[in-house]
Amino acid sequence: MNQRTNNGSFLKTLDYQVLFIYLFLVIWGWLSIYSASYDYESSRLLDLAQFSGKQFLWIGISLVVGVLLLVIDSRWYYNTAEIIYILVMALLMATIVLATDVKGSRSWLVFGPVSLQPAEFAKFATALALAKYIDKHGFRPKESKRDYLTYFIIFLPVLLILLQQETGSALVYFSLFFVLYREGMSPKLLLAGCCAAAYFVISIRYGSTQLWGVTELGTFLVLLLILAITLLMFHLNNPKEKQSLGLVLGGNLLPLSVAVLCNVAGWHINLCWPLLATMALSLGYLGWLVFKKNLREVGQTILFAVLSVAFLFAVGFIFDHVLKPHQQVRTQVFLGVVDDPTNAGYNVNQAKISIGSGGLAGKGFLNGTQTKLKYVPEQHTDFIFCTIGEEWGFVGSALLLLVYLYLMIRLILMAERQRSRFVRVYGYCVVCIFFFHVLINVGMVLGIMPVIGIPLPFFSYGGSSLLSFTILLFIFLKLDAERLRYH
Amino acid sequence: MALDKNYERRSTTLLIIIALTVLVYLIRLVHLQLLSDEYDKYADSNAQFRKVIYPERGLIYDRNGRVMVYNSAFYDLMVTTREMKGLDTLDFCRTLNISREYFDKRMADMRNRRLNPGFSTYTPQLFMSQLSVEQYGPLQEKLFSFPGFSIQKRSLRSYTRPVAAHALGYVAEVNRRDIEQDSYYASGDYSGRSGIEKMYEQQLRGEKGYEIYLRDVHGRIKRPYNEGRRDLPPVSGKDLTLSLDLDLQEYAEQLMVNKRGAIVALEPKTGEILAYVSAPTYDPNLLVGNQRAVNYRELEASPYKVFLNRPIQSFYPPGSTFKPLQALVLQQEKIITSRTEYACHNGYAFAGMKLGCHSHRSPLDLPSAIATSCNAYFAAAYRAMIDDRKYASSQAALDVWRGHVASFGYGARLGVDMAFEQSGMIPSSEFYNRVYGNRAWKGSTIISNAIGQGEILATPLQIANFCATICNRGWYYTPHIVKQIEGETLDEKYTTRHQVTVDPAYFEPIVQGMRASVTESIGTSRGVAIPGIEVCGKTGTAENKGVDHSIFMCFAPKDDPQICMLVFIENGGFGATWAVPMASLLLEKYLKGGIADNRKWMETRLLNANLMEVEPENQ
């Protein structure tokens, strides 16, 4: 392919849908920041002393950078991927030493009036490096011993960002396992990882809630979840064993219902014990099936259930007996169980009220009363979704979620249409990073997810995050626009 | 780079996971915004109203546990401007009995960020403070029809007796700087401005609490949020017990009516202040409530400097009350002994000049010199020290002398627990080198120091503290007015004994002299004598361009002093006229609990005396 066809040709193949969605989100985000920090006395949209004015500046910078990224020869991204990765990692290390302490986090580099968070820029660097490595060496799930460098690429920024005390940003990289899954990683590993995370969060999140004074809600919910997944696995592996499935299901739920009724009637027993007993019996029955009917896959299912229960009780044991009290509190604060000094729990509660008060159509732009700095300190950054919920109501917040959904679907379809594995892997990285941010941020504001402070892409106030998401997306736009060049 | 089709189906899994997440969140949104019982109720009554609950400011007791300062309730009218929509301004002004112009001015001032830095349209702002009963009643009934307005209960300082204004200080609304410096304060809060109220602000103020309410679109408070589970109760301020004796304090203030000056009475053994008077004084009730600003301006305009906290802020040459200190230092430096005698023929002649003295027998030993307050004795002895060859120079001698004097607490702030204390002055050799030229001075140049004049300046509190040191024969505790803080121990500096650099043995001749001053015919303090009590005293006169200020320090009983006192009367002339009898009455009051009938004439004479007309501007 020669240079002549390269010049300007990307304009014809550029994905304008994504570009349009990007502009839509950025502008809506900007207006929301304006509204979130709105004040009668200083109501100018472009005032540089206000968050909205600063954000406008960052939008301008991001657009310029975006255009530059579109103009650069796309081969450059492939060729310099490792160099960019190494440079950014070096910057992350330097940050640990150089950064000033901002609310306990050492992740901000201050250059005069501008503060940057290098951790944000590690996202696209890691995505590029991961894409190139997998493209070059492939991802061979059957010989996983040789994939250690793949994991290293993912875990190095995690480690460096954890050292900066930015737990939220570090967790983002775990979303890249979805990329590996797409490239061939065993679904069992993915399932195990998701389950472990879910068990951990649920058991501690609801660990201090008691049903009828005796049943620990966290443990009970996780046991139900284990039962559900186990039965689902059994069903998927042995679709014909409907009778056995029904037997196991009934054998668990009937005694459980009786136990619940006992509690309602006033005889308080810990629901976990009857459930555990019936689950043990069920596993015994499934084990018998292995021998009797020679159902090979059932062995794995039993193993899964046993390991899950063991994991659950290990988490409980470690939390209660190994962690020191202050570590317990820190974990609980992280998961939003207890209020920390900055009142994370209070914020979530405020967030729920403000969103709930939005109703169907919201109170109208600039008319929110809850979603102001006075009530939720992180209103313009991590809790920006509240402003949407309150001022634009269900219509606005549902629209925003659907726009994100459309963007992610669009990006997946774009990734799948690539002929180059490099571009496809990169595209998936972009999707997964966006997905994780939306999942955690919106989930946190809605009170479903733990309180982890990470921004809503293109929406939250903050130059570093906006610029880094722009870079992440526009590199993919450019690579996609020239998809025909690669094979 | 072959196309890898093996796992293409997995993209569907990812799509499903993402779509499911969005679905779950949409369901949650439906639940929160459209269905939920809990949040549906908030659908148009979402605004939380965080009502600040002010803590009770700490009470103040006297040393015998009698309440001096307590709190009484009053009401502030607050407004949240964003919720004012549809206010019937006419009706509102009529209810409060205020003019439309006043209403507009208050609104404008409130929005002025220079006057009210904490302004926000979302939070209640102070509209009017301390509503009168006539305003509160009608308003309370109609409050529901005035959207955005709410009533905030506060408490005001009240005083059981109108005394000790300078010691107690006052409380006032915080200003812009207070808010910027301490994030605890919000617009409309109160904080201590002077005296104990300022010094112990942290202990007295307590911790604010809040109650969270939900309000409807009209700004009306509907019900507590979450059944009050997120409320935070306020923590009351800590109570203070003062060392003041309320009766003695009141009596001292009565005696000082129509006089200018200061009285400080201490318990020598503890450094506790028993009485603390700055005259003229004012009724502390004047600086409470919404008349505060008017009264403050009026008091400040008085030519008598009402707000000058005389015991710690005014300083004068201590005059003859300084002679006992000279005697102590000179003995310690072995310049004199208690038996050293100096001649006096109506004064001390030096370098062609003469320092005058009154007529008395001559020569005198040390106790007699103190009893008669002989100028010549101390001039001669002081000069002998400053010019003594055993020191390297007069300069070195002066600095040795100064070191001793400073150990008594002169020349620096004592550190009493009241704001804005002054330090007074004890000159150093460096000071005189600057004034007269390097080493161009000697004993005769600075001879006025000998009798407590010249460049020496002291606050009444420092002189009272010196008297306490004599009582204790060589040590003192830093004077303090707060005896006890609820749940806290007193600052270490008030429980640390300060030892002076003069040996205890040298104090006996001084005590003898001060006793002789009361008992002997040659004494200057005879008027303080109280039958049955061994009183010791020392008069002094601070020279003044007009009528001199009279000073008197005394203590009783001689061998186990329970109280020592400094009485300072501006333009009081010779000490014996006013200061001495006043001290006598106060000692009697404190030690015997009342005034004997045969001494009532003294009381009457003092109560009726008016010394205000004499040169008020001259200080």
For chain B, what are the domain ranges? 53-207+228-238, 246-608
Mean pLDDT of A376-389: 76
CA A128 – CA A475 distance, rounded (Å): 9
Q: Which of residues 88-127 of B touch A (CB under 8 A)?
A: 111, 113, 119-123
Query: Distance from first CA to last CA of chain B, Å, rounded?
Result: 100
Give residue-wise pLDDT tens across range A132-165: 999 888 776 555 566 788 889 999 999 999 888 7
Give the sign of the dihedral formed by CA B286, CA B414, CA B556, CA B604: negative
| Residue A320 DSSP class | I
Residue B82's closest CA among B125, B115, B51, B41? B125
A433 CA to chain B: closest CA distance, Å?
12
Quote the CA–CA distance of A369 and A383 in Å, as a whole number: 15
Counting residues of chain A whose pLDDT is more than 70, the rounded percentage is 84
CB B252 within 8 A of CB B134: no
List pLDDT tens digits, range A254-300: 888 888 888 888 788 888 888 888 999 988 888 888 888 777 678 88
Task: Please tell me which of the candidates A356, A401, A428 has its beta carbon nearest to residue B22.
Answer: A401
Q: Partners of B267 in the beta sheet?
A: B272
A487/B46 Cβ within 8 A: no
Mark yes or no for CB contact A446/B121 under 8 Å.
no
Q: Does B37 touch chain A (CB under 8 A)?
A: no
Q: How confident is the model at residue B3 (pLDDT cuts 50, 70, 90)?
A: very low
Do the chains contact at A404 and B28, CB–CB below 8 Å? Answer: no
Q: Look at B42 and A178 and tell me if their CB atoms are within 8 Å.
A: no
Q: Which of A187, A352, A431 sits opposite B39 (nearest CB)?
A: A352
Mean local confidence (pLDDT), A214-228: 87
Distance from CA of A408 to the nearest CA of B (A): 8
The pLDDT of residue A346 is: 58
Least confident of A452-456, B372-376, B515-519: A452-456
pLDDT for the residue A372: 46
Report the pLDDT value the prediction gives residue A47, as an integer from 0 to 100.
67
Q: Considering only CA atoms, which of B247, B246, B264, B269 is closest in space to residue B561?
A: B269
Residue of chain B with shortest Cα separation from A134 = B1
Min Cα–Cα distance to chain B from A27, Å? 22
Question: A179, A181, A369, A430: best mutation site toward chain B, by most B Cβ within 10 Å?
Answer: A369
Collapse the DSSP code of B354 into the 3-class scheme (helix H, G, I; strand E, B; otherwise coil) and give the result. Answer: strand
CATH 3.20.20.10 is the classification of domain B53-207+228-238: no
**Where are any strands of DSSP class E within A141-287?**
210-211, 215-216
Task: Find out whether the peptide bond into B557 is cis, omega within 30 degrees of 0.
Answer: yes
CA distance B279 to B571: 13
Angle formed by the axes of helices A421-445 and A384-416, to 10°?
160
What the block records as the tokens of A132 is 């190139």
Q: Looking at chain B, which residue has its C-alpha nearest residue A439?
A: B21
Residue B217, chain A, CB below 8 Å: the answer is no
Which has the minimum average pLDDT: A121-130, B55-64, B350-359, B470-479?
Answer: B350-359
Tokens 């992280």 — which residue? A334
Which of A405, A406, A422, A441 is best to mutate for the B interface (most B CBs within 10 A)?
A405
Q: What is the SS3 assignment for B401?
A: helix
Q: How far apart are CA B460 and CA B264, in angstroms?
A: 7
Output phi, psi for A408, to 5 deg. Answer: -70, -40
Contacts of B10 (CB under 8 A, 6+ apart): A181, A182, A187
The number of helices, as runs of H, and strands, as runs of E, in chain A is: 19, 5
Total Cβ atoms within 10 A of residue A299: 12
* pLDDT at position B588: 95
pLDDT tens digits along B381-436: 999 999 988 998 999 999 999 999 999 999 999 999 988 899 999 999 999 999 89
Residue A214, amino acid: V
Whether B33 and A412 lie within 8 Å, measured CB to CB = no
**Is the sign of the CA dihedral B141, B142, B147, B153 positive or negative?**
negative
Which of A349, A358, A408 lies nearest to residue B33, judging by beta carbons? A358
Interface A-B, measured as beta-carbon pairs within 8 A, has a size of 126
Q: What residue spans of B30-98 are helical by DSSP H?
A: 37-40, 89-96
Instruction: Give A7→chain B minimum CA distance, Å.
Output: 25
Which of A374, A412, A448 lies closest to B122 in CB terms? Answer: A374
Tell me which chain B residue has its CA closest to the CA of residue A181: B10
Chain B hits for A412, CB-CB cut-off 8 Å, are 11, 14-15, 18
Q: Tell me if B11 and A358 make a contact (CB, 8 A cut-off).
A: no
Distance separating alpha carbons of residues B619 and B614, to the nearest angstrom = 11
Q: Do B119 and A353 touch (CB under 8 A)?
A: no
**Number of residues in chain A:** 487
Quick check: B210 contacting A, CB < 8 Å? no
- Measured between alpha carbons, how far is A15 from A23 in angstroms, rounded to an integer? 13
Structure tokens at B149: 């307005």
Q: Are strands B149-159 and B67-79 parallel, antiparallel or unpaired?
A: antiparallel
Interface test with A, best of B26, B33, B39, B52 (most A CBs within 10 A): B33
Q: Contact B29/A369, CB-based, under 8 Å? A: no
- Here the tokens at position A120 are 């944000």
Question: What is the model's pLDDT at position A292?
Answer: 81
Q: B357 near B348, Cβ under 8 Å? A: yes
**A39 CA: distance to closest CA in chain B (Å):** 8
Q: Does domain B246-608 have CATH number 3.40.1130.10?
A: no
Check CB contact under 8 Å for A409 and B15. yes
The counts of H helices and E strands in chain B are: 21, 20
Q: Are A398 and B19 within 8 A, CB to CB?
A: no
- Does the pLDDT value for residue A306 go beyond 80? yes
* Region B512-537 average pLDDT: 91
State whether residue B278 is helix, strand or coil: strand
Residue A390 with chain B: CB contacts under 8 Å: 46
Residue A108 has pLDDT above 50, yes or no: yes
Domain residue spans of chain A: 3-193+337-485, 209-325
Indicate the pTM of the whole model: 0.56
- Beta strand pairing status for A210-211 and A215-216? antiparallel
Structure confidence by residue, pLDDT tens digits, B189-227: 889 988 999 999 999 999 888 887 765 444 456 667 767
The reply to whether B29 touches chain A by the CB within 8 Å rule is yes
Closest approach of B503 to chain A, Cα-based (Å): 56
